[in-house]
Structure formats: C-alpha cells, structure tokens
Amino acid sequence: MATRHELKRFRTNLADELDSAALYDTLARVETDAARRAVFAQLAGAEREHANIWLDKLRASGVRVRTHHLSVKTWLMRALIHTLGPSSVLPALAAAETADRDKYAHQPDAAQLSADEQRHAAVMEAVVAQDIQRARRLLGTRARRHRTPSVARAVQAEAWHKGVASGNDLRAAVLGANDGLVSNFCLIMGVSGAGTGNKVIMLTGLAGLIAGACSMALGEWLSVTNARELARTQIAKEADELEHAPEAERRELVMIYEAKGIDHAEAKRVAAQIMRDKQKALDTLTREELGIDPAELGGNPWSAAGVSFCLFSLGALFPVLPFLWAQGSTAILHCVALSAFGLAAVGVFTSLFNGRGAAFSAMRQIVIGLIAAAFTFGVGHLLGVSIS
C-alpha cells in the first residue's frame, strides 16, 4: 500500500501529465498543417500514456480518482493557442519542458518516464535554438521507440522553429505591462503618502502613464531601429568579405559545421555546395556566423513602439482607476487591491515563460510590487511632512 506522501506524488504527476496532454490536444486541434498536427497528436498520446501509469498506481492503492480540472496556467496557454496560434506557445512549452526534465529523476518507479521527459526537453531546446537537425534526430529516436514513424516524417516535413519569435514578443508585451503597472503604482503611492488630494493624485498618475508610455515607445523604437541598422551594416560587411575573400568565408563555413558535429570531409562538401550560390552563402553566413535572420532584422520598430505604448498604458491604468470613484484612504486601499490584482495577473502570465508555478509567480509578483509601493509611500510621507 502506498504511503500518503507517495499518493500525493502520484496525484501531482497525474495532474501534470493530463495538463500537458490537454495542451498538445489543443495544438493538434488548432494546427492547420497536417504534418504538425500529427506530431502534436502523437505527443498528446505519449503524455496520456504517462498519465495512465499514475492513474493505475492510484487505483491500485484503492484511491478513487476524481475528474481532473486543468490548472489556470494550462487554461491561459490554451487561450493563447486559440488566439495567437500554436507557434505562440512554443517558447513557453520549451521553458516548461526544461523545468520539468528532471522531475522524475529521483522517483525510482519512473525511470523510463524520466528518460522521456529529458528527451522532450532536449527536443524543445533544440527547436527554440533553431538546431532543427538535432531536433529531428531526437524526435526520430522517440518515434521509432514508440513505433510511430509518421512522427519522424511529420517533423521532417516542416521545421518547428517558424514563429518562435511570437512567443518572445508576447513575453516582452507582458513585461511592458508590468513596467507600467509597477512604475505608476509606486508613483501614485508616493504622491498619496505626501497627503495630496484626489485631483493631484489622478493628474500625477495620468501624467506618469503618458510620460512612461511615450518613453517606452521611443526606447523600443530606438532599440529596434539601432538593431536593424547594425544588422544591415554587419550583413553588408559579410557580403563584402564574401565578394573579396570567398575562400576565407568557405573556411569559416567549414569550421561552423565542424563545430556542429559534422566531420571535416562532410563539412567541406556542404560548404563548397553552399558557396556556389552567393546569395545562399550570404544568408547562411548571416544566420550561422552573425546570428541574424536576414528576413526579420530584429522586427518592425513601429509595431514594437506601438505595442510598448499600449501595453505600458494598460498596466499604468490600473493604479489610477480607483481615484475616479473613491477618495482618501478608501481610494488608496482600492488602488492597492486593484494593483495587486494586476500584479497577480502579470505573475500568472510570466509563469507561462519561466517554468514556475502560476501561484508562485503571482505571489512573488504581488510581494515585490507591494514592497516597492510601500517604500515609495513611506518616502512620500516623509517628504510631505518635512515640506509642510
């Protein structure tokens, strides 16, 4: 008979596997490409196989297993899949797989599952790193072990790394909203601590919203613009070197492929073939040597600025709203409560990318935000007393 600690572990493992299966099922339903849909369906099946192992252990111990309810984090990720598409969650899934790759390492009854989880993490890390050949090899091994060669063919049909940047954009957007929320929350708390009236507090909050949003938008525009200009300069230098020193560039390609684990003879053959087409050689050197995607060049500065402005404004609006319907200490309490809610929401969303639990991320965000607000409130109170 399993101990209470073991039963708790079985339930936790079962919930994790069912959540993962639900995510992959959602990906399989939403994905329009047949090859990728087959991959997601296979992964969902593998997660359900893992879940059945823990379900059987619970039933063998006489435990009546209730219907599983998906976690908040899983619901959010499924919503993102439906809203932004399957590729939007790929970085988050990679983070989750990496965080969970060793969760079975110290469980003696889950040795085979531990190997599966480590393989999943390695595959996702390879995909996000755009090391597609390595991802294919890992997934091909997994597919042969489960006797489903269609998965290997599906992965070979299309690289999964397309669209990964959307997940990074989403993470940046969430952090932009967090910046607006925390900065304006602290600003309003500082002014409130000085004992000023509602109108002054509200005007200060709105001024902080507009100033911060404009600053964020300008900073993002400059950052992306400078990155694009630097990328163009580097690509131009690479094109010049390719034109005037093609042999040196060919040797660089050979060394790049050797560093990836390809033997010298094969690396020379591949490099020689690529060098036959100068444009293809330039694209390859740009990606492999400079780490730049020539098709993107760091994104669109105007869209980046617009998103930063809107998300910062959205976050900064939370602390201001209570002063529209309340006054004095009541408004301050409402501001703290609404801001804490916003901080919790940001924490839950960041848990999609950091591999931590939603509750932990939300609580951490709330505690840090409230500490910062309390500090600025105290400073504002001291300054208000000293000035008056």
What is the tens place of the pLDDT at every residue in 294-315?
A: 666 666 788 888 888 998 999 9
Same domain, 191 and 46: no
Confidence (pLDDT) at 155: 35
Residue 50: which domain range? Answer: 4-157
Same domain, 246 and 380: no
Average pLDDT (259-274) is: 80
Per-residue pLDDT tens over the stretch 117-142: 776 666 566 555 555 455 445 555 54
- In total, how many domains does the chain have? 3
For 116-137, b where at least 16 C-beta lie within 10 A, e where not — what string?
A: bbbbbbbbbbbbbebebebbbb
Quote the tokens at residue 227: 């990155």
For 252-278, b where at least 16 C-beta lie within 10 A, e where not — what string?
A: bbbebbeeeebeeeebbebbeebbeee
Is residue 346 in a domain?
yes
Given pLDDT bands bounded at 50, 70 and 90, which one contains residue 35?
low
Evaluate whether 47 touches 24 at the Cβ level (below 8 Å).
Answer: yes
Per-residue pLDDT tens over the stretch 152-198: 333 333 333 344 444 455 666 777 888 899 999 999 998 888 877 88
pTM over 0.85, yes/no: no
Confidence (pLDDT) at 144: 43
Confidence (pLDDT) at 1: 63
* Res. 367: pLDDT tops 90: yes
Is residue 294 in a domain?
no
Cβ neighbors of 204 (< 8 A, separation 6 or more) are 187, 188, 191, 196
**Residue of higher predicted confidence among 1 and 372:** 372
Given pLDDT bands bounded at 50, 70 and 90, which one contains residue 24?
confident
Same domain, 125 and 264: no
How much is the mean pLDDT over the chain? 77
Per-residue pLDDT tens over the stretch 314-348: 999 999 999 888 888 898 899 999 999 999 988 88
Between the CA atoms of 24, 30, 32 and 34, what dihedral angle is there, to the nearest 10 degrees?
A: 30
Same domain, 148 and 30: yes
Same domain, 278 and 319: no
Per-residue pLDDT tens over the stretch 37-83: 777 777 788 788 888 888 888 888 888 888 888 888 888 888 888 88
Pick from 116, 138, 157: which residue ends a domain? 157
Is residue 87 in a domain?
yes
Tell me which amino acid residue 251 is: R
195 CB neighbour count, 10 Å cutoff = 13
Same domain, 17 and 49: yes
DSSP letter for each residue of 36-87: HHHHHHHHHHHHHHHHHHHHHHHHHTT--PPPP---HHHHHHHHHHHHH-GG
Evaluate whether 377 touches 194 at the Cβ level (below 8 Å).
Answer: no
Closest CA to 353 of 118, 25, 90, 34: 90
3-state DSSP percent of the chain in helix, strand and coil, to 5 = 80, 0, 20
| Cα–Cα distance for residue pair 270/288, rounded to 1 Å | 14
Evaluate whether 320 touches 205 at the Cβ level (below 8 Å).
Answer: yes
**Residue of higher predicted confidence among 138 and 5:** 5
Evaluate whether 235 touches 279 at the Cβ level (below 8 Å).
Answer: no
Evaluate whether 283 touches 242 at the Cβ level (below 8 Å).
Answer: no
Confidence (pLDDT) at 217: 87
Confidence (pLDDT) at 46: 79
Per-residue pLDDT tens over the stretch 88-122: 677 677 666 666 766 777 777 777 777 777 766 66
Same domain, 11 and 85: yes
Same domain, 144 and 181: no
Confidence (pLDDT) at 171: 63
Same domain, 27 and 127: yes
- Of the chain, the percentage scoring pLDDT greater than 90 comes to 11
| Cα–Cα distance for residue pair 4/131, rounded to 1 Å | 43
